Amino acid sequence: MLEIIDLKKSFVQPSGEPLQILEIPEFRVEGGEQVVLLGRSGGGKTTLLHCISGITSTDSGKIRFLDQELTKFTEPMWDRFRASNIGYVFQTFNLLPAFTALENVLLGMSFAKDVPDQEYANWLLKRVGLGHRLNHKPDQMSVGEQQRVAVARALANRPRLLLADEPTANIDPANQQGIVDLIKETCKEFNIGLILVTHTMEVAGQFDRIDQLEDINLVSTELAAGMPEFEKGENQS
Ligand SMILES: Nc1ncnc2c1ncn2[C@@H]1O[C@H](COP(=O)(O)OP(=O)(O)O)[C@@H](O)[C@H]1O
Ligand SMILES: [Mg+2]
């Protein structure tokens, strides 16, 4: 379903010098497969998700998904494709603060459809356990509830792939497991492929396929080696 071949990505540093972040010879995810990407802070996990979702452009290489070559997409092609096929759950939820839970999900739908499906949005919010919070705005909800809205929004267009970037990093410990369970279960229920990024074994250990970023990304070892000793610890986000 998703195939990455010889992907390279670098950023221009403030000094003007390029810094290579990703060099991935090969990475594949089958339809409906659940993959955890485990790797230390600064290793390029978020950058990789940004490349897969077209938030960031790539330098070279191919990303194929659903028989299309995403790396050849123009910006308008990306907008439509991303809205219809890729769900994204951010570490910091990224809900629109002026809108209710229901409106946030409906807005997510409006990028892919001309007429948002109100009934499905209601159903999704009930599915994530928020049937009683439809008309609450983000600041009227707990962080766990906000991330549940974000999961509902990410599922709103029945995507084929869900990208979840450290989805429990800003959630209180009591609600972390609920979010992991929700993502796992809904992806399975709707046959959605999942790439979940984390830096903790506690989250990763709950999935069958765990890919260490260092094993798939040839530069992440060098990046980590260049970091000061105190930043090499496990629990960085
Ligand atoms: N827009 C950017 N410009 C320059 N460097 C960046 C940019 N985004 C990320 N980086 C650098 O790329 C590296 C990888 O970042 P990131 O993908 O966020 O890692 P992770 O998610 O694994 O913690 C970091 O060293 C970071 O400083
Ligand atoms: Mg990150």
- The ligand placed nearest to the CA atom of residue 166 is 2
Pick the residue whose CA is nearest to atom 6 on ligand 1. Answer: 11
User: Residue 166 Cα, ligand 2 centroid: separation in angstroms?
Assistant: 7
Instruction: State how far the Cα of 94 lies from the Cα of 55, in Å rounded to an integer.
Output: 14
Provide the 10 A C-beta neighbour count for residue 11. Answer: 12
Mutate to test the pocket of ligand 1, among 46, 234, 236 (most ligand atoms within 8 A of CB): 46
- The ligand placed nearest to the CA atom of residue 231 is 1
Order of strands across the sheet that contains 86-89: 86-89, 161-165, 193-198, 34-38, 209-212
Q: Summarize the confidence of residues 187-211 as an average pLDDT.
A: 95
Q: Are strands 161-165 and 209-212 parallel, antiparallel or unpaired?
A: unpaired
Pick the residue whose CA is nearest to atom 3 on ligand 1. Answer: 11
Domains and CATH numbers, the chain: 2-232 (3.40.50.300)
Pick the residue whose CA is nearest to atom 4 on ligand 1. Answer: 11
Q: Is residue 147 lining ligand 1, measured as CB closer than 6 Å?
A: no
Question: What pLDDT score was predicted for residue 159?
Answer: 96
40, 224 in Cβ contact below 8 A? Answer: yes
Ramachandran bin of 68, using left for φ above 0, alpha for ψ from -120 to 50, beta for the remaining angles: beta
The pLDDT tens digits for 131-175 are: 999 999 999 999 999 999 999 999 999 999 999 999 999 998 888
The pLDDT tens digits for 98-143 are: 999 999 999 999 888 888 899 999 999 999 999 999 999 999 999 9
Instruction: State how far the Cα of 42 lies from the Cα of 31, in Å rounded to an integer.
Output: 28
47, 71 in Cβ contact below 8 A? Answer: no
207, 229 in Cβ contact below 8 A? Answer: no
Q: Are strands 60-65 and 18-29 parallel, antiparallel or unpaired?
A: unpaired
Q: Is residue 41 lining ligand 1, measured as CB closer than 6 Å?
A: yes
The pLDDT tens digits for 39-72 are: 988 999 999 999 999 999 999 999 999 999 999 9
For 125, the enclosing helix (H) or strand (E) is: helix 118-127
